[in-house]
Amino acid sequence: MNKLTAYNSFFKEIINTINSARYQAYKSLNKFHIGQNFEIGRIIVENQEQNQWGQSIVDSLSKDINKQIDGAKGYSPQNLWRMRQFYLEYRNEPELLDLAMRIPWGQNMLIIHQLKDNHERRYYLQATEQLGWSRAVLLNQIKVNAYEYHIANKKLSNFEKALPQHLLEQANEALKSEYNLDFLGIAKPILEKELENRLIENIRDLLLELGYGFSFIGNQYRLKLRQKEYFIDLLFYHRILKCLVAIELKTVEFEPEFTGKMNFYLELLDEQEKQTDDNPSIGIILCPIKDNIEVEYALRTSNKPIGVSEYKLTHRLPDKFKGIVPTSKELKQMLTKAMHNAGASDNLSDNTSNEF
């Protein structure tokens, strides 16, 4: 090891130590802050009940706090009411309270105001803590019903077999069973290259949909083996998992050979691009439709961590098109019949990508 390489390794270790200490300090401070707000909420509720005080007591309390603690922020009447609500929501839910203590106050308020079901709250609390969702990302996940997709759609991957135990849970959380790409505004059949280009044009929305931790590296990322070149549709680095994530886009129904191709790409990535302190590269295959049993069998033979997910180009068919625009199943049947009649059924794979 030369001196420059040794110094770079030494410097990186120091930076990682500093960042780790800062993160632990932040978590401790955040837990203290949330605990304080819960306790303030408890005191307000109990004193209102004991003394039969009305709403005006909170306004008085806010003014007196700001007089006593000069320059104090966060004790407006509105924030005090939020602390009161926070206490009422979680005083009989110790498990949820424990999860709530691990995420920022803003995200907590968003979950309380947007969601009433405790099962949903638990899902978003856990995901926010594990994936580090910002308020913007959390709101986006709530709007696209991430919880409903979570319980309705089984995540298909071989992560349990191909990843070490300490990465398994985080990798499962990072993978969705379905991705909502309706921000692209696509409502007609589209080729893979055009789909890729549209995603690159809307990279910010794509990163929000993928979730926290994904950093975009490039599209059509070139790999080389001897004299041949290979290209990965989209390549990301995941800052939490500390690994490369290759995404392959398909506009046709899942086929078993997709996993073989992805396995090959991941082998090249790990050999040529993965740094010594990176974790194994992960692959995600995005298809408009898949057969779960077929996917499970295809993943059995892969030794690289691969997940297979569906995507939707249009989240909901507008009412004015219902009964006029065919469903995906009807569209595929129509196209199959048309191509068969034309004697060109071999080209079906380029024309069956519409999903409604």
Residues 213 and 176: beta-carbon distance below 8 Å: no
pLDDT above 90 covers a percentage of the chain that reads 39
Residues 195 and 180: beta-carbon distance below 8 Å: no
Q: Are strands 214-225 and 156-157 parallel, antiparallel or unpaired?
A: unpaired
Whole-angstrom distance, CA of residue 38 vs CA of residue 90: 9
**Does position 317 have pLDDT exceeding 50, yes or no?**
no
Mean pLDDT over the full length of the chain: 82
Segment 238-263 mean pLDDT = 92
Higher pLDDT, 211 or 46: 46
What integer pLDDT is reported at residue 22 of this predicted model?
86
What integer pLDDT is reported at residue 162 of this predicted model?
85
Highest mean predicted confidence (pLDDT) among 11-25, 103-117, 169-183:
103-117
Give the global pTM.
Answer: 0.49
pLDDT, one tens digit per residue, over 48-103 is 999 998 889 999 999 888 888 766 677 889 999 999 999 999 999 999 999 999 99
Higher pLDDT, 352 or 308: 308
| SS3 labels along the chain | CCHHHHHHHHHHHHHHHHHHHHHHHHHHHHHHHHHHHHHHHHHHHHHHHHHCCCCHHHHHHHHHHHHHCCCCCCCCHHHHHHHHHHHHHHCCCHHHHHHHCCCCHHHHHHHHHHCCCHHHHHHHHHHHHHHCCCHHHHHHHHHCCHHHHHHHCCCEECHHHHCCHHHHHHHHHHCCCEEECHHHCCCCCCCHHHHHHHHHHCHHHHHHHHCCCEEEEEEEEEEEECCEEEEEEEEEEECCCCEEEEEEECCCCCCCHHHHHHHHHHHHHHHHCCCCCCCCCEEEEEECCCCHHHHHHHHHCCCCCEEEEEEECCCCCCHHHCCCCCCHHHHHHHHHHHHHHCCCHHHHHHCCCCCC
Can you give the residue ranges of every domain in the chain? 3-144, 153-350
Nearest to 129 by CA among 106, 99, 98, 166: 99
Higher pLDDT, 143 or 183: 143
Nearest to 199 by CA among 246, 233, 175, 222: 233
User: What's the fold here for domain 153-350?
Assistant: Trna Endonuclease; Chain: A, domain 1 (3.40.1350)
Lookup: tokens for 198 = 């549209």
**Does position 152 have pLDDT exceeding 70, yes or no?**
no
Highest mean predicted confidence (pLDDT) among 104-118, 140-154, 166-180, 323-337:
104-118
Higher pLDDT, 169 or 118: 118
- Quick one: pLDDT band at residue 326, thresholds 50, 70, 90? very low
What integer pLDDT is reported at residue 84 of this predicted model?
95
Q: Which residue has the tokens 């249009």?
A: 314
- Quick one: pLDDT band at residue 316, thresholds 50, 70, 90? very low
**In degrees, to the nearest 5, what angle opens at C-alpha 282 toward C-alphas 297 and 26?**
130
Nearest to 137 by CA among 214, 72, 78: 214
What integer pLDDT is reported at residue 258 of this predicted model?
94
- Quick one: pLDDT band at residue 344, thresholds 50, 70, 90? very low
pLDDT above 70 covers a percentage of the chain that reads 85
Burial of 319 (0-12, 13-18, 19+ CB in 10 A): exposed
